[in-house]
Amino acid sequence: MPPLDTAAERDKSDASGAPCAHCDMGEQAFCHGLSPEDVRRLVAILGTAGVVAGTTIFREGDPALNLYSISAGAVKLYKLLSDGRRQITAFLFPGDYFGLSLQGGYAYTAEAMADTSLCRFPRRKLDLLLDEIPKLEKRLLGATIHELTCAQDQMLLLGRKTAREKVASFLAGLWQRLCAKAGTSQIFLPMSRSDIADYLGLTIETVSRTLTSFKKEGLVSLPDASHVVIRDRETLVRIAEGG
Query: What pLDDT is stored for residue 160 in this prediction?
Result: 79
Could you tell me what percent of the chain has a pLDDT over 90?
Answer: 55
Query: What pLDDT is stored for residue 18 in this prediction?
Result: 42
SS3 assignment, position 53: coil
Residues of the chain with CATH 2.60.120.10: 4-157
Q: Which parts of the chain sit beneath pLDDT 50?
A: 8-19
Q: Check if the beta carbon of residue 40 is closer than 8 Å to that of residue 95.
A: no
Beta bridge partner(s), residue 91:
76
Query: What pLDDT is stored for residue 6 in this prediction?
Result: 63
4-157 has which CATH code?
Answer: 2.60.120.10
Q: Check if the beta carbon of residue 232 is closer than 8 Å to that of residue 221.
A: no
Query: What pLDDT is stored for residue 186 in this prediction?
Result: 95
Q: Check if the beta carbon of residue 39 is closer than 8 Å to that of residue 92.
A: no
The rounded radius of gyration (Å) of the Cα atoms in the chain is: 19
By CB atoms closer than 10 A (0-12, 13-18, 19+), residue 67 is: buried
Q: Minimal CA–CA distance to 30: which of 99, 131, 86?
A: 99
SS3 assignment, position 168: helix
Residues of the chain with CATH 1.10.10.10: 161-240
Q: Give pTM, 2 decimals.
A: 0.85
Which residues fall within 8 angstroms of residue 151, CB to CB, at 6 or more apart? 89
161-240 has which CATH code?
Answer: 1.10.10.10
